[in-house]
Chains A and B, each alone.
Chain A
Amino acid sequence: DGGITQSPKYLFRKEGQNVTLSCEQNLNHDAMYWYRQDPGQGLRLIYYSQIVNDFQKGDIAEGYSVSREKKESFPLTVTSAQKNPTAFYLCASSIYKGSSGRLYTQYFGPGTRLTVL
């Protein structure tokens, strides 16, 4: 059963704590992405990775960190430096062929809702 999964579905964090959101895909996609979704705003890109062991900052990377040690996994850590972390976090993956310059369809996970208490 192919797809992209995120865990946990709901996450509560105390101020000052770091938390890590999991994202796994078995679609054999090279590229993976993390987005943040806030009410009344479009999805905003936090980090993306086109190949293993490489990742790039998106538009709102401050206070977040990622790793890409395996093709299937792209965990996101929300650090205490992120001033307003309460949001819905979405992970996505897609085919990536750099030479083509084409953006392939992104497949999204079910999301993780993070709430800071």
Chain B
Amino acid sequence: KNQVEQSPQSLIILEGKNCTLQCNYTVSPFSNLRWYKQDTGRGPVSLTIMTFSENTKSNGRYTATLDADTKQSSLHITASQLSDSASYICVVSERSGGYQKVTFGTGTKLQVIP
């Protein structure tokens, strides 16, 4: 069964500090991996997308890495801001013909405090 596991479940950091969120997956055959940011009570917004051949992808202060061999990804947030407080969801797509099956992680809830 395809699974996407994220850690930690929740995290509190001080404003201005860096943090790293982890994502491990068992999805196969792998197609791509996305990180989404979801503010409370809102829909998720895509941050990055990486395919098998990509090791790293940046979007401003967000940098995602992918190790397809170990099936691990991380999302690094630099110089955190209060507006970074949200849930971060790792989403892995499986290549399966016309419709690619998507598996969502349960998310890491990040709280940035002053």
Chain A residues with CB under 8 Å of chain B are: 4, 6, 35, 40-45, 48, 50, 56, 88, 90, 92, 98, 101-103, 105-111, 113
Chain B residues with CB under 8 Å of chain A are: 4, 31-32, 34, 41-46, 49, 89, 93, 95, 97-100, 102-107
Tell me whether A101 and B104 are in contact (CB under 8 A): no
Tell me whether B106 and A40 are in contact (CB under 8 A): yes
The number of residue pairs between A and B whose CB atoms lie closer than 8 Å in the complex comes to: 53
Tell me whether A103 and B31 are in contact (CB under 8 A): yes
State in angstroms the CA–CA spacing of A18 and B110 once bound together.
36
Tell me whether B102 and A101 are in contact (CB under 8 A): no
Which A residues touch B4, using CB under 8 A?
A: 42
Tell me whether A103 and B93 are in contact (CB under 8 A): yes
- Given A50-B99, A103-B32, A107-B46, 17 more contacts at CB 8 Å? A35-B104, A41-B106, A42-B106, A42-B107, A45-B102, A48-B99, A90-B43, A92-B43, A98-B98, A101-B95, A102-B31, A103-B93, A105-B34, A105-B49, A106-B102, A109-B43, A111-B41
